[in-house]
Amino acid sequence: MSAPTPAPIRLLLVDDHPVMRAGMANVLGLDPDFEVVAQADDGETALGLWDRHRPDVTLLDISMGGMDGIDTLRRIRQVDPSARVLILTSSDANEDIRHALKAGACGYVTKNVRASELAEAIRTIHAGGQILSEELKRKLTEDDGSRHLTSREIEVLGLVRQGFTNDEIGRLLGISERTARAHMGTILEKLNASDRAAAVARGFETGILKA
Amino acid sequence: MSAPTPAPIRLLLVDDHPVMRAGMANVLGLDPDFEVVAQADDGETALGLWDRHRPDVTLLDISMGGMDGIDTLRRIRQVDPSARVLILTSSDANEDIRHALKAGACGYVTKNVRASELAEAIRTIHAGGQILSEELKRKLTEDDGSRHLTSREIEVLGLVRQGFTNDEIGRLLGISERTARAHMGTILEKLNASDRAAAVARGFETGILKA
DNA sequence: CCGCCTATTGGCGGATCCGCCAATTTCCAA
DNA sequence: TTGGAAATTGGCGGATCCGCCAATAGGCGG
C-alpha cells in the first residue's frame, strides 16, 4: 500500500533574483520529492508558465519589478482557485502577510527560512495544509486587529505622504476638507500616531506604504 | 607566461538567507575560478570566519539580524584595510550605497544581478577594481548631491518620525525649540518636502529611515 | 428590520507648523 | 588664516493641524 517513489511535487519558482532562484532550484532539486518544472523572474512570465505547466505548488516572491507577487497570486487563483501557492519573500510586514493570505496564498514563509523547513512547508502545502510560522501568526494577532485602514483611509494616507494639506486632499478626492480631516483623525487613532508625520512613519513600518 | 589553472579566488559568503547562500555557493562553486571557503548568516559569525580564513573577497548582505552589513564591513576594514568586500543586497537605496562605499566597500551590486555578472564583478573586485553599475551611479549623482542630511538633521528626523513636536524635540536634544525648527526647515528643503509628513516619507524612500 | 461600520460634513479653539528675516559661535577645510 | 558650512537662537504672522462635540446617509451582516 506504499509506493517507494511517488510522483515528485512539480514546482514553479518565481523570484526576480536569479541567484535566489538558483538556490531554490539547487536546494529543492536535490530532493527527489520535488521537480522544478519552470522558473520566472516577473509576474507576467510567471502567469504564462503557470498556465502551461500547471505546477503542483508555486513558490512566489512578493517584491518584483512590474506586476507584484500579490497581483500575480490573484491572477493565478482567478484562473484556478485550487492552485496552491507558497509566498517566499523577505518581507515580514503585516500588510504583506495579510494581503497574501487574503489573496489566497496557502502559506507564507520569509527567506531566512532554512532549506529543510522550506521543503517541509512545500510538502505541507501540497498535502492541502496551510503554512504560517508561529512568529508571523503572533505578529498578525498582536500588532493588529482593529488597526487596519479602510481603502479610503489608505488613499488619504498616500496623499499625506506626498505632503498635501487636508484642504488639498479634500479637493483631490472631491470631498470636503472636513472629511479629509475626519479621515486623518481616524488614521491617527488606528495607527496610534500623534500627528501625520508619525502616521506616515507607521504606514511604512506596517507595510501600508512602500518605498 | 600563463598558468592554465590559477589559484581560485577564495570567497566568504555572508547572508542571512540560507537559500540565497545556497544559490551563491552553487552558482559560484561551479566556476573553477572560485572557492567558497566559508559562509555566515550574521555579522558576528562573519567577523570570526573572516579572521580565520582571510578570504580574497567577501560577499556581504546589508540587511541582517544583529549587526548589519555596513557595521560588519567597518569591522573587517578595521582589522585589514585592504580587505576586499563586495556588497550584494536587495536594497538600491541611495543611503545604503553611499554608506557602503564610505565604509570601504569595493563594489555594490543588487540581488537581481545575473550569475554571470556576479562572477565578473567578483573577478574585477579581486583584481583591484571597483564595481558600481551605471544604474546605481546615475541614482547616486542625480537624485543626490546636496540633499544628504547632517547627523543632527537625521537625529531630528528620527524624532519627527516618532511624532514629537519641535518643542519636544528641542527638549529631547537639549536645544531650543527655535533650533529644532531651524533643523526642520533645512530638512524640508534638502528633502524637497513640503511638510514633516512628506519629509518622513522621503526619509523612508531614500533609505535614511528604515522600517 | 436593526444595529454597526464607513463616509460624509459642520463648528470652535488652542496648539503647532512653516516661511521670511537676521545673528552668533564653532569647526573644518582650503 | 580665511571662507564656508553647520549648529545655535530670536521675532513675527498667517496657515494648518488636531481634539472634542454632533449629525446625516448608505451599506452590510445578524
SS3 assignment, position B203:
helix
- Please state the φ and ψ torsions of residue B109, each to the nearest 5 degrees: -130, 150
Q: What averages of pLDDT result for each successive group of 10 residues across chain A (211 residues)?
A: 72 97 95 96 96 98 92 94 96 89 93 95 95 82 67 96 95 94 94 95 95 86
**Nearest-CA distance B204 → chain A (Å):** 6
SS3 assignment, position B90:
coil
**Residues 6+ away with beta carbon under 8 Å from B28:** B11, B34, B36, B118, B119, B122
The answer to whether B65 touches A135, Cβ cutoff 8 Å, is: no
Q: Which residue has the higher pLDDT, B7 or A35?
A: A35
pTM (two decimals): 0.91
- Among A126-135, B56-65, B69-78, the minimum mean pLDDT is found in A126-135
- Residue B6: Cβ-neighbour burial (10 angstroms; 0-12, 13-18, 19+): exposed
Q: Which residue of B has its CA nearest to A93?
A: B211
Q: Which residue of A has its CA nearest to B93?
A: A211
- What is the nearest nucleotide to A152, using C1' and CA? C7
pLDDT of B6 over the 90 cut = no
**Nearest-CA distance B2 → chain A (Å):** 31
CB contact under 8 A, A17 and B193: no
Residue from B200, B208, B209, B210 to probe the interface with A (highest A Cβ count within 10 Å):
B200
The answer to whether B16 touches B42, Cβ cutoff 8 Å, is: yes
Which residue's entry shows cell 531554490?
A24
**pLDDT recorded at residue B150:** 93
CB contact under 8 A, B163 and A197: yes
Please state, in angstroms and rounded to a whole number, the distance separating the CA atoms of residues A131 and A134. 9
**pLDDT recorded at residue B143:** 60
**pLDDT tens digits along B78-113:** 999 999 999 999 999 988 998 999 899 999 999 999
Please state, in angstroms and rounded to a whole number, the distance separating the CA atoms of residues A99 and A97. 6
Which residue's entry shows cell 515580514?
A92
